[in-house]
Amino acid sequence: MDGFSGLLHGFGVALTWYHVMLMVIGVLLGILVGVLPGLGAPNGVSLLLPLTFTMDPVSAIILLTSMYWGALFGGSTTSILFNIPGEPSSVATTFDGYPMAQNGRATEALSFAFLSAGFGAIVGVLLITALSGWVTQFALKFSSPEFFGVYFLAFASFVGLSGAPPLKAAVSIALGFSLAGVGMDSVSGSLRLTFGFDVLLAGISFLVAVIGLFGIGELILTIEDGLKLDGIRAKITPRDVLRTAAQMPKHWATLLRSSIVGCWMGITPGGPTAASFMSYGLAKRFSAYRANFGKGEPDGVIAPETADHSAGTSAMLPMMALGLPGSATAAVMLGGLMIWGLNPGPMLFVERPDFVWGLIASMYLGNVVAVVLVLATVPLFASILRIPFAIIGPLIVVVCFIGAYTIAGRPFDLWLALAFGVLGYVFKKLDYPIAPLILAMVIGDKAEDAFRQSMIMSKGSLTIFWSNPLVTGLMLLGLVLLFWPLLGTLRQRLRPSRV
Amino acid sequence: MARKLGIALGFLAAGMAGAAAQGWQPTKPVEFVVTSSPGGGTDNFTRMIQSIILKYKLIDQPIVVSNKGGGSGAEGYLVSKTAAGDPNKVIFGTNNAYLLPYVAKLGYKFSDLTPVAALALDEFLLWVKADAPYKTAKDYIEAVKAKPETYKMGGSQSKDTDQTLTSILSTVTGAKFIYVPFQGGGAVGTQLAGGHINSHTNNPNESIGQWKAGQVRPLCVFSPARLPAGPKVTETQGWADIPTCKEAGIPVERFQMPRTVWLPAGTPAGAVQFYEGVLKKVSETPEWKEYIARTVQTGQFLSGDSLKAFVANDDKLSREVFEREGWIVK
């Protein structure tokens, strides 16, 4: 069974009152865990997992995936309102979402985020539906050199864009790389940078860094600026949501480009976080309003959100067809699949079409349910900003620390979050960009593993990165993007001389 | 929410089974510490046991599962030291409980763990790509010997079971591989199906989907006897049709990974007996037997002296490899 007929069959499975109810419950729970920084989708899904042991696998996966969609949406809410990413993949949303909210355009930012996220998700599912057979074949072409190519591409499309002096960006990246290297190194099987401290064995959680750098760092800055005792005055009406929706078609280019980036990263699988960074970088590069990026440009919200969600949804395909999780949440669900008695792999499509197509159909429905639910919450969430800082500030501190603790239940993470908060403050004061550090922390160790695996395979020869058309193409594209800013300045220098 | 419901269920169970209690009983919620990240083999093992305990109400207290997979699982085993004497923390793992401290300087020693039981032995097979020209394991090994250090053997992690087995294989046959470490069995399987590596030694459960789909094919199993016959996996073959490696002419008698359960150091003997009893009951349920059959492991309940003997033997074998490869940290 493939494509269209499979999908129709799937809708038959997914479209029951019981399943729609599960979707609504899942999405609402997901929004809740998404809004709380640190708790996040992987933790939320593993908390729910024991409940699904007695359920039918189709119902179980519908509940868990709906929670995942909800969490992805919820994660963007706090990014925009408080500059605290609820999910690692919504870090890039803070860059323009938060400035927009600060300028009193919170409703607009939230609506843009949710609508484009919904768009991205639907593109992701469409891709799965149409190309399920072909896509899995494509994913099999990826080995370590190709993975390195993908990560290199993500780095290349993002660095040199922050507007900060290149040297400062380099410092930030280097720091991110070293933080990512802490703990057990899977290629050599040895411990690195733990200095004999047992608490560092498990490495430094990227989520703790995000909570500290963004949430706490931002609070310290706000306090220094002088306590603004009242919130942002902004008129919020449900009609704003509709007005924003009407503007969406204008951003078609960004939507399309970001969906492609997202699907690509979801399938290969590079992960939603890398996808959102890369998409933001590309949107900025190709935008006519480059100077507005970072100050509240709608495209800066649309790009990461679209990519994030199309990556999140399309990552379900390698999970089912190859047993290869594209994100941390997918890894938890993979465990669920095995407990429910299913074997992920190419045969899942043949043996359990009801499960596979039921899930795919539920992804359409679940995302539609999620968009409707989150859009309904926009006025509510946007009005949170009206609450005076004196009340909301301490609340954010509490939520941040609870979030940092829930990641792994380690008291040490609380100190780490505080330290990262100070670091975030220092970075802002000295004008160092934070984003490259985050990017290096997220994909730095994966890029390193892929590079070293490639080196083992080729016995140390760099030619492995030019050994087939796929990896060569990736590397070339990466190099072009890396040197694009340089080309830009060259052109600018040449132009006056011609006049 | 899930936790709340769990607590509620726990209270319900406590009310029903409380009267029958004898000897040591947990008085607080019990934490199951998983020494792998969510989705890994150890995680499935633990959550399977948790679901069976819940179903048969074998423990009167709620059970919380927490993943501490950092440092290849060392983070979880460290609980034995930080929570020394706490009988409400049960640690689930593999043989890395006693092997990890050899290869990395960690905060715990094997003596910090109190052995409770081993419930299953996970099997290892030698897999090649389905369209590879080798008919038998011997064919493949001869091909590798003919061109040393060109064939790539994939495995998960470094200095762990897969690499240990590769090292044993090289020593006894003289075939030299390039060992490439990946993040986990799933990734290794995909690499073989895509033809980026030549072979791997995945557990049955990690590659059954790809075998069914005709992407990869097992050559032999590193077990003293053939695997139990179950339903056919492919059109023509089932697990019992795979020869043991010894039959196939590779002198490796056995290589299996125990799935183990531990308590922190200094835990009262009554608590060890209690969990031993619970796990024994778990291993006798139809759900457990179904899990063992589905994941093609060998169900074997080891505790007390039989567990000690197994650990001592496995420890000795692995240490020889570690010493030969120079992996041991001083």
Concatenated DSSP letters of A383-413: HGGGS-HHHHHHHHHHHHHHHHHHTT--THH
Question: Which residues from A are below 8 Å from B163, CB to CB?
Answer: 189
Which of A201, A350, A448, A464 is the mutation pick for testing B, counting most B CBs within 10 A?
A201
Beta bridge partners, B115, equal B262
- Of residues A118, A112, A115, the one with CA closest to residue A99: A112
Distance CA A45, CA B192 (A): 30
Yes or no: say if A323 and B28 are a contact pair by the CB < 8 Å rule: no
Q: What is the mean pLDDT of residues A59-64?
A: 92
Q: What is the mean pLDDT of residues A186-209?
A: 87
**Of the candidate ranges A44-48, A298-302, A493-497, B219-223, the one whose mean pLDDT is the lowest:** A493-497
Q: What is the mean pLDDT of residues A373-393?
A: 81
Distance CA A265, CA A307 (A): 9
Q: What is the mean pLDDT of residues A56-84?
A: 89
Residues 6+ apart with CB under 8 A from B292: B120, B298, B299
Question: Which residues from A are below 8 Å from B103, CB to CB?
Answer: 189-190
CATH for B2-121+257-325 is 3.40.190.150
Give burial (CB, 10 Å; 0-12/13-18/19+) of A250. exposed
* Per-residue DSSP letter, A187: T
pLDDT for the residue B164: 96
Structure tokens at B303: 């505790």
Give burial (CB, 10 Å; 0-12/13-18/19+) of B96. buried
Rounded to a whole number of angstroms, the distance between the first and last alpha carbons of chain B is 46
Q: Give the Cβ contact number of residue A398 at 10 Å.
A: 10
Q: Does A325 contact B40 at a Cβ distance shorter than 8 Å? A: no
Concatenated DSSP letters of A120-183: HHHHHHHHHHHHHHHHHHHHHT--HHHHHHHHHHHHHHHTT-SSS-HHHHHHHHHHHHHHHT-E
Q: Does A50 contact B6 at a Cβ distance shorter than 8 Å? A: yes
Distance CA A263, CA A139 (A): 12
Q: Does B50 contact A198 at a Cβ distance shorter than 8 Å? A: no
Distance CA A345, CA A343 (A): 6
pLDDT tens per residue, chain B (330 residues)?
Answer: 444 444 444 444 444 444 344 689 999 999 999 998 877 789 889 999 999 999 999 999 999 998 898 888 999 999 999 899 999 999 999 999 999 999 988 889 999 999 999 999 999 999 999 999 999 999 999 999 999 999 999 999 999 999 999 999 999 999 999 999 998 888 899 899 999 999 999 999 889 888 998 999 999 999 999 999 888 999 899 999 999 999 999 999 999 999 999 999 999 999 999 999 999 999 999 999 999 998 999 999 999 999 999 999 999 999 999 999 999 987
pLDDT level of residue A347 (50, 70, 90 thresholds): confident
pLDDT for the residue A496: 60
> At B31, which helix (H) or strand (E)?
strand B30-34
Structure tokens at B120: 């299953």
> CB of A183 within 8 Å of any CB in chain B?
yes
Strands B256-264 and B89-93: antiparallel
> CB of A50 within 8 Å of any CB in chain B?
yes
**Of the candidate ranges A361-365, A484-488, B22-26, B280-284, the one whose mean pLDDT is the lowest:** A484-488
Structure tokens at A333: 């669900």
Q: Which listed CATH number (1.10.3720.10, 3.40.190.10, 3.20.20.70, 3.40.50.300) goes with B125-254? A: 3.40.190.10
Distance CA B202, CA B122 (A): 10
Q: Give the Cβ contact number of residue B133 at 10 Å.
A: 9
pLDDT for the residue A230: 54
Yes or no: say if A187 and A451 are a contact pair by the CB < 8 Å rule: no
Question: Which residues from B are below 8 Å from A55, CB to CB?
Answer: none
Question: Which residues from A are below 8 Å from B37, CB to CB?
Answer: 331
What type of residue is A104? G
Yes or no: say if A43 and A407 are a contact pair by the CB < 8 Å rule: yes
Chain A nearest-CA distance from B130, in A, is 14
- Of residues A436, A498, A473, the one with CA closest to residue A179: A436
Q: Which residue ranges make up each domain of chain B? A: 2-121+257-325, 125-254
Distance CA B162, CA A88 (A): 32
Does pLDDT of A5 surpass 60? Answer: yes
Question: Which residues from A are below 8 Å from B47, CB to CB?
Answer: 49-50, 53, 335, 339
Does pLDDT of A39 surpass 80? Answer: no
> CB of A341 within 8 Å of any CB in chain B?
yes
Chains A, B: CB pairs < 8 Å: 161
Phi then psi for B227, rounded to 5 degrees? -70, 155
Chain A nearest-CA distance from B305, in A, is 31
Residues 440-469 (A) with a CB less than 8 A from some CB of B: 449, 453, 456-457, 459
Q: What is the mean pLDDT of residues A142-166?
A: 80
Chain B nearest-CA distance from A442, in A, is 16
**Of the candidate ranges A55-69, A230-244, A267-281, A379-393, the one whose mean pLDDT is the lowest:** A230-244
A419-446 pLDDT per residue, tens: 999 999 999 899 888 888 888 887 888 8
Residues A49, A50, A54: CA angle, nearest 5 degrees: 105
Distance CA A251, CA A28 (A): 28
Give the closest of B103, B180, B194 to A453, CB-based: B180
Number of structural domains chain A divides into: 1
> At A318, which helix (H) or strand (E)?
helix A316-322
Dihedral sign of CA atoms A81, A82, A86, A87 in order: positive
Chain A residue closest to B3 (CA)? A47
Chain B nearest-CA distance from A491, in A, is 42
Residues A420, A424, A425: CA angle, nearest 5 degrees: 120
**Of the candidate ranges A208-217, A382-391, B155-164, the one whose mean pLDDT is the lowest:** A382-391
Distance CA A215, CA A85 (A): 8
Question: In which residue are the tokens 């960074």 written?
Answer: A277
Distance CA B187, CA B26 (A): 39
Residues 6+ apart with CB under 8 A from A362: A10, A14, A19, A23, A61, A62, A65, A66
Chain A nearest-CA distance from B42, in A, is 10
ipTM of the complex, rounded to two decimals? 0.87
Yes or no: say if B249 and B264 are a contact pair by the CB < 8 Å rule: no
Q: What is the mean pLDDT of residues A63-72?
A: 91
Q: Which domain holds residue A300?
A: 3-498
> CB of A228 within 8 Å of any CB in chain B?
no
pLDDT for the residue B11: 46
Structure tokens at A320: 């089912």
Give burial (CB, 10 Å; 0-12/13-18/19+) of B113. buried
Q: Does A50 contact B208 at a Cβ distance shorter than 8 Å? A: no
Residues 105-144 (A) with a CB less than 8 A from some CB of B: 139-144
pLDDT for the residue A486: 76
Phi then psi for A3, rounded to 5 degrees? 50, -125
> At B310, which helix (H) or strand (E)?
helix B304-325
What is the model's pTM? 0.86
